[in-house]
Amino acid sequence: MAVNTGMPLTERVAAVVADLPKDRSQLLPTLWRLADHFGCLSPSLLAAVSEVMHIPYAEIYGVASFYALLPWDPGQPVIVRVCTDVMCSLKNSSELPTVLKDHEGVVVKESPCLGQCDLGPAALVGSRVVRNATPGNLAAEIGEMRHG
């Protein structure tokens, strides 16, 4: 999660997404980057995106609220989505939720294919893809999500 540097939010947003084109085609990648940087989205963050990208707030809010994977609540638990499709299941992905249930503040959900069949089992920790998922590398990723 980003530390407040005293810079106005619009300037901080502009700095985080400086290398991305400022057009509608980059709105979702911009929102992902900002969610990763700031920890979650908020109305004030979307207003800053609107200023930086010159896209109406309503359009940004519509996109941001549509995608369930984008985090909105700073206090929400870490969500881990474990792929349960055939290829990952063959690589024992069904064992991962059992191991992860012991992590406090973690919600484990089954997920359809994450498109990582060649490197399964796969999981999403927040928005981060974990390939060749094991209890160890998932725990490390959860720790990184919590502590930056």
56-96 pLDDT, tens digit per residue, is: 999 999 999 888 778 777 767 778 889 988 999 888 888 88
Per-residue confidence (pLDDT) for residue 127, from 0 to 100: 75
Per-residue confidence (pLDDT) for residue 148, from 0 to 100: 56
For 78-147, which CATH class? alpha beta
10-residue averages of pLDDT along the chain (148 residues): 68 92 90 86 94 95 85 76 89 83 80 89 87 89 74
Residue 129 forms beta bridges with which residues?
Answer: 124
Q: Work out the end-to-end distance of the chain between its first and last CA atoms, rounded to an integer number of angstroms.
A: 6
Per-residue confidence (pLDDT) for residue 147, from 0 to 100: 67
Helical packing angle, 43-53 and 27-38, nearest 10°? 140
* Coil vs helix vs strand at 111: strand
Q: Could you give the C-alpha distances from 62 to 17, 67, 101, 132, in angstroms and in order?
A: 20, 9, 33, 34
Per-residue confidence (pLDDT) for residue 4, from 0 to 100: 55
Per-residue confidence (pLDDT) for residue 11, from 0 to 100: 94
Q: Is the peptide bond before 121 cis (omega within 30 degrees of 0)?
A: yes
- Domain range list for the chain: 9-66, 78-147
Residue among 38, 124, 87, 25 at smallest CA distance from 133:
124
